[in-house]
């Protein structure tokens, strides 16, 4: 009996920060190659760069001698059709054009090329690759969706930093800077978070609130220092694009771990917003809920407070690290 050369599939996770590609055998579970490259958001990365990043990630994942044996490719793209708009949605059209160009450049002639939103591949990344349930992605933004037959049929949140995305990284970072400003003008308390935000923004030590504010013996934060803090903080924030406020989310997580009262409250509030975003999809008890993003991946800081808030709705959260296993699963399904 002649040995059959195995066939392969490629799964791609194209996110706002990086593009990952994974090579796997069509029939088996094992990952045979991996590659990564720059950002892959279908709406914000210009078309030629998007094609370059896709080609680079796929080239690393798929050795040249196997490129003719790839039978199916599936990619999940940030910026592609969060809103269940279907195949003619602008992000999907751009993603398909870039992916087609990248594969042609590498000589990958897969018969099946699937373009999905990152929501779909994230959901499919859960163990068992479910077809129906709920998904929540909380990175810089925050969006939830109901998936039926592997496609989103309704979404909640995901309205961008200016109007929504409540509970995501931008929301958390903005809340931290707001708390700092409120402390500086007397409407809030200058906890360790306020020190940390000031330090992140490059303010000099002498304008920060003194360490151990509120403890006996600690010096107070004088009116002069408060004014200088605020006068330094505002232009430091305003000179950057607004979305950079998300840079302050990690400091909230860190100070919350040290039991900073303001940081803890911000994360609790964020978890409440995320739970509300899921609840707007009218979940049924026992439905699968798959979650990902910097805040909700395995060990993510919001995973445990969110789990607590969703338990009364009969939901348990399954965190996944990224969507590439889901993309591999969708590639395999697309093959048949």
Provide the binding-site residues for its own copies, judged by CB under 8 A.
83-85, 154-157, 159-160, 162-164, 174, 177-178, 181, 185-187, 223, 227, 230-231, 234, 237-238, 242, 245, 276-277, 280-282
Q: How far is the CB of 189 from its own copies (least distance, A)?
A: 12
Choose between 154 and 333: whose C-beta lies nearer to its own copies.
Answer: 154
Choose between 125 and 289: whose C-beta lies nearer to its own copies.
Answer: 289
The 3 state secondary structure assigned to the chain is CCCCCCCEEEEEEECCCCEEEEEEECCCCCEEEEEEECCCCCCCCCHHHHHHHHHHHHHHHCCHHHHHHEEEEEEEECCCCCCCCCCCCHHHHHHHHHHHHHHHHHCCCCCEEEEEEHHHHHHHCCCCCCCCEEEEEECCCEEEEEEECCEEEEEEECCCCCCCCCCCHHHHHHHHHHHHHHHHCCCCCCCHHHHHHHHHCCCCHHHCCCCCCCCCCCCCCCHHHHHHHHHHHHHHHHCCCHHHHHHHHHHHHHHHHCCCHHHHHHHHHHHHHHHHHHHCCCCCCCCEEEEECCCCCCCCCCHHHHHHHHHHHCCEEEECCCCHHHHHHHHHHHHC
Q: How far is the CB of 218 from its own copies (least distance, A)?
A: 22
Q: How far is the CB of 95 from its own copies (least distance, A)?
A: 18
Choose between 177 and 320: whose C-beta lies nearer to its own copies.
Answer: 177
Choose between 122 and 277: whose C-beta lies nearer to its own copies.
Answer: 277
Q: How far is the CB of 280 from its own copies (least distance, A)?
A: 4
Q: How far is the CB of 149 from its own copies (least distance, A)?
A: 17
Q: How far is the CB of 145 from its own copies (least distance, A)?
A: 11
Choose between 215 and 238: whose C-beta lies nearer to its own copies.
Answer: 238
Choose between 34 and 159: whose C-beta lies nearer to its own copies.
Answer: 159
Choose between 67 and 146: whose C-beta lies nearer to its own copies.
Answer: 146
Which tokens is 266 given?
Answer: 């911000």
Q: How far is the CB of 163 from its own copies (least distance, A)?
A: 6
């Amino acid at each position: 009996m002649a040995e059959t050369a195995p066939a392969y599939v490629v799964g791609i996770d194209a996110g706002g920060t990086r593009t990952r590609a994974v090579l796997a055998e069509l029939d088996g579970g094992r990952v045979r190659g991996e590659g990564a490259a720059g950002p892959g958001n279908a709406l914000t990365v210009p078309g030629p760069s998007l094609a370059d990043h896709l080609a680079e990630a796929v080239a690393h994942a798929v050795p040249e001698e196997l490129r003719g044996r790839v039978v199916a490719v599936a990619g999940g793209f940030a910026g592609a059709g969060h809103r269940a708009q279907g195949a003619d949605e602008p992000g999907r059209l751009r993603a398909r054009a870039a992916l087609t160009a990248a594969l042609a450049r590498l000589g990958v002639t897969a018969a099946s090329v699937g373009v999905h939103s990152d929501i779909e591949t994230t959901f499919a990344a859960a163990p068992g690759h479910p077809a129906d349930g709920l998904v929540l992605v909380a990175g810089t933004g925050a969006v939830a969706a109901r998936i039926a037959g592997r496609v989103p049929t309704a979404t909640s949140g995901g309205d961008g930093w200016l109007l929504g995305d409540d509970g995501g990284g931008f929301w958390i970072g903005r809340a931290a800077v707001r708390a700092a400003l409120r402390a500086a003008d007397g409407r809030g308390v200058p906890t360790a978070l306020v020190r940390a935000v000031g330090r992140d923004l490059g303010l000099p030590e002498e304008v920060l609130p003194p360490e151990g504010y509120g403890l006996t013996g600690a010096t107070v934060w004088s009116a002069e220092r408060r004014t200088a803090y605020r006068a330094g903080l505002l232009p430091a924030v305003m000179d950057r694009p607004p979305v950079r406020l998300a840079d302050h989310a990690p400091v909230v997580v860190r100070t919350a771990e040290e039991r900073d009262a303001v940081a803890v409250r911000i994360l609790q509030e964020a978890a409440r917003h995320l739970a509300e975003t899921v609840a707007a999809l009218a979940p049924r008890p026992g439905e699968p809920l798959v979650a990902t993003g910097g805040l909700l991946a395995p060990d993510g800081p919001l995973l445990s407070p969110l789990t607590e808030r969703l338990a009364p709705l009969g939901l348990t959260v399954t965190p996944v690290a990224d969507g590439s296993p889901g993309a591999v699963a969708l590639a395999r399904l697309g093959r048949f």
